[in-house]
């Protein structure tokens, strides 16, 4: 008997589309299944001003399928102008502002080093209800990379939230039980978290055991198994505070398979098949729609998509190992288990 699952069309609440030839190549991988996505602003140079966001949005729309809606973000810097942010929000141009601690990840050198210098922006955002998407890792050299999320919550995020009542925060791509617990500690409706596809599938052994696997390296780096299991429970629970943000982050193979490889897993192509498999493994298929299609819009106070996608279970679905771009090949994330759920629009 064929099993069929119909979901409201999903959205991706954390996505890297890049620009130019890479944008043209990766965009269809997202628009095939997703209705909307929160577009990360870590281009080179970053998308800091409303004018830059408007121009980037136009480039995405020009490369798109006419249906996909990019939800733009501004990259917060210590020079960001609260009035520019507020105007971009008022005009409907942006859906969120992104906070990268300076040096935390790919293209984050313009991020924030001294959080006191963005106080005025955060206060304005709390006043107007504009969400802050947070890359939650400290960058201190003396903090172990596997502890950087937990330390960020204590040293940075919790103090910011206490000092800025009403600030709406999305903890992006949480990777630890500490992140899950922190999000669950707030019933205010002002705190949510995205969880990636790959962090539901891999732990740190997948990166390092039996040889180094650069295509499993991303930031925040995958943690030990107990943390992966905590993310699985959070994602499959239906809890409205957790929603899908793939963090699909394309880098060409030479940039990944290098002595100093870039961080990022490219999951846009097969994310929905992987998630269906994951939720099935955990006996939670009936809660997949909450994670992919309902909890995100609820947090962002947007309607759910009106149309649907259908997934059908059958023979193993084979996805391409790589997609070709004019900049070079990009390897598609390999979950390491067969996929049986095929998506049709």
Q: Please, which residue, 42 or 176, has the CB nearer to ligand NCD?
A: 42
Q: Pick from 101, 95, 179: which is nearest to 140 by CA?
A: 101
According to CB under 5 A, which one of 190, 247, 277, 334 is a site residue for Zn ion?
Answer: 247
Instruction: State the minimum distance, in angstroms, from the CB of residue 42 to ligand NCD.
Output: 5
Residue 218, binding choice from ligand NCD, Zn ion, none, Cβ under 5 to 8 Å by partner class? ligand NCD
Instruction: State the minimum distance, in angstroms, from the CB of residue 249 to Zn ion.
Output: 5
* 267 vs 250: CA distance, rounded Å: 8
Q: Which residues are CB-contacts of 164 (< 8 A; sequence separation ≥ 6)?
A: 119, 122, 123, 126
Q: Which helix (H) or strand (E) holds 99?
A: strand 94-99
- Which 3-state string (H, E, C) describes 231-287? HHHHHHCCCCCEEECCCECCCCHHHHCCCCCCCCCCCCCCHHHHHHHHHHHCCCHHH
Q: Please, which residue, 235 or 311, has the CB nearer to ligand NCD?
A: 235
Instruction: State the minimum distance, in angstroms, from the CB of residue 342 to ligand NCD.
Output: 27
* 257 vs 271: CA distance, rounded Å: 22
According to CB under 6 A, which one of 15, 85, 219, 244 is a site residue for ligand NCD?
Answer: 219
* 218 vs 202: CA distance, rounded Å: 11
11, 190, 247, 334: which is the annotated catalytic residue? 247
Strands 169-171 and 191-195: parallel
* Inter-residue contact 117 to 78 (CB < 8 Å): yes
- Between 119-128 and 82-90, two packed helices, what is the crossing angle to 10 degrees? 20
Instruction: State the minimum distance, in angstroms, from the CB of residue 38 to ligand NCD.
Output: 11
CA 72 to chain centre: 13
- Asked if 134 touches ligand NCD (CB under 6 A), the answer is no
Size of the site for ligand NCD (CB under 6 A): 12
Residue 219, binding choice from Zn ion, ligand NCD, none, Cβ under 5 to 8 Å by partner class? ligand NCD
- Asked if 218 touches ligand NCD (CB under 6 A), the answer is yes
CA distances from residue 264 to 6, 50, 190, 333 in whole angstroms, order as listed: 30, 26, 28, 10
Q: Please, which residue, 191 or 218, has the CB nearer to ligand NCD?
A: 218
- Could you tell me where the DSSP H helices lie in 47-94? 50-63, 82-90
Q: Which of residues 39-78 bind ligand NCD (CB under 6 A)?
A: 42
Q: Please, which residue, 18 or 294, has the CB nearer to ligand NCD?
A: 18
CA 269 to chain centre: 15
According to CB under 6 A, which one of 89, 98, 124, 135 is a site residue for ligand NCD?
Answer: 135
Size of the site for Zn ion (CB under 5 A): 1
What binding mask, one character per residue, do residues 88-127 give for ligand NCD by CB under 6 A, x or -? Answer: -----------------xxx--------------------
Per the annotation, the verdict on 158 as an active-site residue is no
* 133 vs 194: CA distance, rounded Å: 9
- Asked if 263 touches ligand NCD (CB under 6 A), the answer is yes
CA 131 to chain centre: 14
Strands 308-313 and 3-8: antiparallel
Q: Which of residues 264-283 bind ligand NCD (CB under 6 A)?
A: 264
Q: Please, which residue, 249 or 343, has the CB nearer to ligand NCD?
A: 249
Instruction: State the minimum distance, in angstroms, from the CB of residue 137 to ligand NCD.
Output: 8
Q: Please, which residue, 23 or 285, has the CB nearer to ligand NCD?
A: 23
Q: Please, which residue, 7 or 153, has the CB nearer to ligand NCD?
A: 153
Instruction: State the minimum distance, in angstroms, from the CB of residue 236 to ligand NCD.
Output: 22
**Using CB under 6 A as the criterion, which residues of the chain lie in contact with ligand NCD when the complex forms?**
16, 42, 105-107, 135, 218-219, 247, 249, 263-264
What are the residue numbers of the active site? 247
């Amino acid at each position: 008997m064929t099993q069929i699952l119909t979901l409201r069309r999903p959205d991706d609440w954390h996505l890297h589309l890049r620009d130019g030839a890479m944008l043209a190549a990766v965009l269809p991988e997202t628009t095939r299944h997703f209705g909307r996505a929160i577009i990360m602003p870590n281009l080179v140079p970053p998308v800091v001003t409303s004018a830059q966001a408007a121009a980037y949005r136009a480039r995405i729309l020009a490369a798109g399928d006419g249906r996909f809606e990019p939800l733009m973000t501004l990259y917060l810097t210590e020079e960001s102008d609260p009035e520019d942010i507020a105007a971009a929000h008022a005009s409907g141009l942006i859906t969120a502002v992104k906070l990268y601690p300076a040096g935390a990840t790919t293209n984050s050198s313009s991020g924030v080093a001294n959080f006191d210098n963005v106080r005025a922006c955060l206060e304005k955002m709390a006043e107007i209800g504009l969400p802050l998407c947070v890359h939650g890792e400290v960058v201190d050299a003396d903090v172990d990379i596997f502890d950087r999320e937990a330390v960020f919550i204590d040293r940075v995020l919790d103090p910011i939230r206490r000092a800025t009542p009403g600030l709406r925060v999305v903890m992006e791509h949480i990777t630890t039980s500490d992140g899950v617990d922190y999000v669950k500690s707030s019933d205010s409706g002002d705190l949510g978290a995205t969880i990636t596809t790959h962090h539901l599938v891999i732990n740190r052994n997948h990166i390092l055991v039996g040889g180094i696997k650069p295509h499993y390296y991303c930031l925040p780096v995958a943690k030990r198994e107990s943390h992966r299991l905590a993310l699985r429970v959070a994602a499959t629970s239906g809890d409205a505070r957790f929603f899908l943000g793939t963090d699909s982050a394309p880098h060409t193979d030479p940039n990944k398979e290098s002595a100093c490889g870039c961080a990022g897993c490219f999951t846009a192509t097969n994310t929905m098949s992987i998630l269906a498999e994951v939720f099935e493994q955990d006996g939670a298929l009936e809660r997949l729609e909450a994670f992919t299609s309902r909890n995100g819009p609820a947090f962002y106070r947007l309607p759910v998509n009106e149309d649907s996608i259908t997934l059908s279970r059958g023979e193993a679905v084979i996805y391409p190992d790589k997609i070709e771009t004019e900049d070079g090949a990009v390897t598609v994330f390999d979950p390491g288990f067969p996929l049986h759920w095929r998506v049709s629009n």
